[in-house]
Chains A and B, each alone.
Chain A
Amino acid sequence: MAALSTKPHSHGAVVPVTSRAEHFTSYDVNAFEVPGGREEIWRFTPLKRLAGLHSGAAATGTAAVEVSAASGVTVETVGRDDSRLGTAGVPGDRVAAQAYSSFENATIVTLPGDVKSEPTTVTVTGAGVDAVAYGHIQVKASQFAEGTVILDFRGSGAYADNVEFLVADGAHLTVITIHDWADDAVHVSQHHVKLGRDATIKHTVVTLGGNVVRVTPVVQYAGRGGDAELFGLYFADAGQHQEHRPFIDHAQAKCRSNVVYKGALQGEGAHAVWIGDVLIRVAAEGTETFELNRNLILTDGARADSVPNLEIETGEIEGAGHASATGRFDDEQLFYLQARGIPEDQARRLVVRGFFQELIAKIAVPEVRERLEAAIEAELEAVGT
């Protein structure tokens, strides 16, 4: 794909003005100022469209949480006072803190240790048009557990939440989060991943529907040998704002991370934002990390902002790199396919499908893969209409 700009680096060339290490976190919403829109972490987000999630909107409804649990997986609905909650991480912005301060019940899904579990699906349905709701989900993979959890967000309304992923020592957790909201929906979400020793997570975020979707996945390592793979796949249509802000906090030695987010954009006002932060602290010797974001702009009027930030506080690392490329549709690819007789619309679909193929191929759940392929197909049907 011809990229308008490609900036691969083998070292940290983009150093943010303020270190990610100094970012403020708190469980208390009142510890945060109401953002005005100029703050670094809010400057890309259309605050006016957040339905007051950032400025103290009270809950007017409840999002329905349904869990289809695999055999052996336990599901609990607990109150806010459950001491297990909040252990994977601390809210990093006002909306996350608002959600943490506001939810009434939390859902805890626990994968049993030392066995392989079938996929579990958690479906969250918004509280409805013009309603505001807050939620909290915790997914725990016990020691040496192996399994997949699918989070499926649908429906209408404004919704803010924290989702915790506690991956115990030696556990392997696969997470697929699908934001398939209705057109009016607003969702601001922080994911907190805490990886134990030799624990791995394969964390995929899919964002298709919704008016505004802003997801901040934060990964922390509690021991050596942790491995985080963060994948993202998004398709922004006219008027949609989709923002993904992965942050990998390397504070332990010998851990790995790999971040790959790819998005396609089409239509007037389609806006994708990707802020990829990686911090390698002094203690994180032997770290290996790479982050990549690619955007494919299919039509005029769409806009992608892509900012990789890499901070390295130790020289003793295996490798660290990042790349970001935003390109228009590649006319040479189109010409090549057409020159073999393939009609233009079909050729476009082949190229876009190909663009996402690398990520779709990594999704091990066939139903989810098929659903995504169908969703991309449906998005492409809309091109040019």
Chain B
Amino acid sequence: MATLEIKDLHVSVVSEDAPKEILKGVDLTIKAGETHAIMGPNGSGKSTLSYAIAGHPKYTITSGTVTLDGEDVLEMSVDERARAGLFLAMQYPVEVPGVSMSNFLRTAATAVRGEAPNLRHWVKEVKGAMADLDIDPAFAERSVNEGFSGGEKKRHEILQLGLLQPKIAILDETDSGLDVDALRVVSEGVNRYKASGEVGVMLITHYTRILKYIQPDFVHVFANGRIVESGGRELADVLESEGYVKYTGKTEAAAIS
């Protein structure tokens, strides 16, 4: 049973002049089998939380701990974290010109699984996973994310989620910019992955609409760099009708009205 434990996490980003504190003491525990929705207004630090856990060099951990099954995540390099079982589906997946998707996927799978997957099984596995996400097989020979639409990029993030089989998946605004069909396809992908084993999901979102497809066990409201309220599914309904105004003093809708 995998457990990601975040304790009193403080994170700064180095801006032009002085470091700016963005996360101001985050406490959160995600266990395998649980889905936690992190909801909050723009600029509240949700994405910073995901990047800090993944180890993006732009962010500095000033205090606090992050452990995966008791192991110190913050001591690990970015790739070690991924191999330990953490996965971040990014809001803005990066284009890597000249590196084909198929080469990238196979290289990543080899690294995460510790051995090169059997070629025949692998080709079949990738084809099946792509078909499940309505991805045209031609994408396998295209450069990683290069020239992909927003929806295509997100489908490929979920494709990687399914192939790399992490213990804990962090989905950073995977729903943003998706049309209805793409949202459904991507959500089904996440649900398939959840059903495939004992995995924990941190679902970061601004809007409630993805929660109609992916059922959260817990909902946390994120504002001003920390979790300010936690509850069950019903908290999302409250956010849907009332927005984040209660937490920010500003009117910002959690649902698209």
Chain A contact residues, CB within 8 Å of chain B: 1, 331-333, 335-344, 346-347, 350-351, 353-358
Q: What 8 A-B pairs come out closest when comparing CB atoms?
A: A354-B98, A357-B98, A341-B82, A338-B78, A340-B108, A336-B94, A341-B111, A341-B112
Question: Would you call A338 and B94 a contact (CB within 8 A)?
Answer: no
A-B pairs with beta carbons under 8 Å apart, 11 shown: A333-B95, A339-B79, A340-B79, A340-B164, A341-B112, A342-B108, A344-B78, A354-B99, A356-B98, A357-B99, A358-B98
**B56 contacts partner chain A, Cβ-Cβ < 8 Å:** yes
Report the nearest B residue to A331, measured CB to CB. Answer: B57
For the complex, give the distance between the alpha carbons of A354 and B160 in Å. Answer: 20
Interface status of B93 (Cβ within 8 A of chain A): yes
Of the candidates B93, B111, B164, the one whose C-beta lies within 8 Å of that of A343 is B111
Having A350-B103, A356-B98, one finds 10 other A-B pairs with CB under 8 Å, namely A335-B94, A336-B93, A337-B104, A338-B55, A338-B77, A339-B54, A342-B107, A347-B79, A351-B96, A354-B143
Let me know if B90 is at the binding interface, CB within 8 A.
Answer: yes
Which residues of the partner chain A approach B93 to less than 8 Å between Cβ atoms?
A: 336
In this assembly, does B88 line the interface, its C-beta being within 8 Å of a C-beta of chain A?
yes
**Interchain CA distance A338-B83 in the complex, whole Å:** 9
Q: Which residue of B lies closest to A344 (CB)?
A: B79
Q: Chain B residues near A347: list those with CB within 8 A.
A: 79
- Does B90 contact A341, Cβ atoms closer than 8 Å? no
Given contacts A343-B111, A344-B77, contact A336 B99 (CB under 8 A): no
Whether, in the assembled complex, B97 has its beta carbon less than 8 Å from a beta carbon of chain A, the answer is yes
Bound-complex Cα distance A347 to B104 (A): 10
Q: Are B83 and A341 interface neighbours, CB within 8 A? A: yes
Complex Cα distance, B111 from A340, in Å, reads: 8
Shortest beta-carbon distance from A195 to chain B in Å = 30
Instruction: Please indicate the chain A residues that have their CB under 8 angstroms from the CB of B143 in the complex.
Output: 354
* Residues B74-96 near A (CB distance < 8 A): 77-79, 81-83, 87-88, 90, 93-96
Using a CB-CB cutoff of 8 Å, which residues 59-86 of chain B contact chain A? 77-79, 81-83
Cα distance, A191 to B79, chains bound together (Å): 46
Q: Once the chains bind, are B57 and A346 in contact (CB under 8 Å)?
A: no
Known contacts A335-B56, A335-B57, A336-B94; decide if A346 and B99 are in contact (CB<8 Å): no
**Could you tell me which B residues sit within 8 Å of A by CB distance?**
54-57, 77-79, 81-83, 87-88, 90, 93-99, 103-104, 107-108, 111-112, 143-144, 160, 164
The interface residues of chain A lying within 8 Å CB-to-CB of B55 are 338-339
CA distance A12 to B107 in the complex (A): 43
Q: Inside 8 A of B79's CB, which chain A residues have their CB?
A: 338-344, 347
From residue B148, how far is it (CB to closest CB) to chain A in Å?
A: 13
| Given A340-B164, A341-B83, CB of A358 within 8 Å of CB of B111 | no
| Residue of B78, B90, B103 ringed by the most chain A CB atoms within 10 A | B78
Q: Which residues of B contact A350 (CB under 8 A)?
A: 96, 99, 103-104, 107
Minimum distance in angstroms from A102 CB to a CB of chain B: 42
Q: Please give me the residue from chain B that is nearest to A337 by CB atom.
A: B96
In contact, A355 and B111 (Cβ under 8 angstroms): no
Interface pair A354/B96, CB less than 8 Å apart: yes
* A350 vs B100: C-alpha distance when bound (angstroms): 10
A341 in contact with B108 (CB, 8 Å) = yes
CB-CB under 8 A from A354, the residues of chain B are 96-99, 143
- CB-based nearest B residue for A359: B98
CA gap between A356 and B143 in the complex, in Å? 13
Of the candidates A1, A332, A338, the one having the most CB atoms from chain B within 10 angstroms of its own CB is: A338
Report the Cα distance A226→B98, complex, angstroms.
Answer: 29
CA distance A343 to B78 in the complex (A): 8
Residues of B within 8 A of A342 (CB): 79, 107-108, 111
Q: CB-CB < 8 A to B104: which residues of A?
A: 337, 340, 350
Q: For residue B96, which residues in chain A have a CB less than 8 angstroms away from its CB? A: 333, 336-337, 350-351, 354
Tell me the smallest distance from the CB of A105 to a CB of chain B, in Å: 42
Pair A341/B97 contact, Cβ less than 8 Å: no
Q: Is A346 a contact of B107 with CB atoms below 8 Å?
A: yes
Contact A351 B99 (CB under 8 A): yes
Choose among B81, B96, B160 the residue with the greatest number of A CB atoms under 10 Å from its CB.
B96
A332–B82 CA distance with the chains assembled, in angstroms = 16
CA–CA, A230 and B82, complex, Å = 42
Given A346-B107, A351-B96, A354-B96, answer yes or no on A340-B82 (Cβ-Cβ < 8 Å): yes
**Minimum CB distance partner of A334 in chain B:** B78
Least distance between A347 CB and chain B CB atoms (Å)? 7
Do B94 and A355 have beta carbons less than 8 Å apart?
A: no
Distance in angstroms between the alpha carbons of A356 and B87 in the assembled complex: 29
Which residues does chain B contribute within 8 Å of A358, judged by CB atoms?
A: 97-98
Least Cβ–Cβ distance between A345 and chain B, in angstroms: 10
- Asked if A341 meets B57 with Cβ closer than 8 Å, knowing A350-B96, A353-B99, the reply is no
Tell me which of A1, A354, A355, A356 has the highest count of chain B C-beta atoms within 10 A of its own C-beta: A354
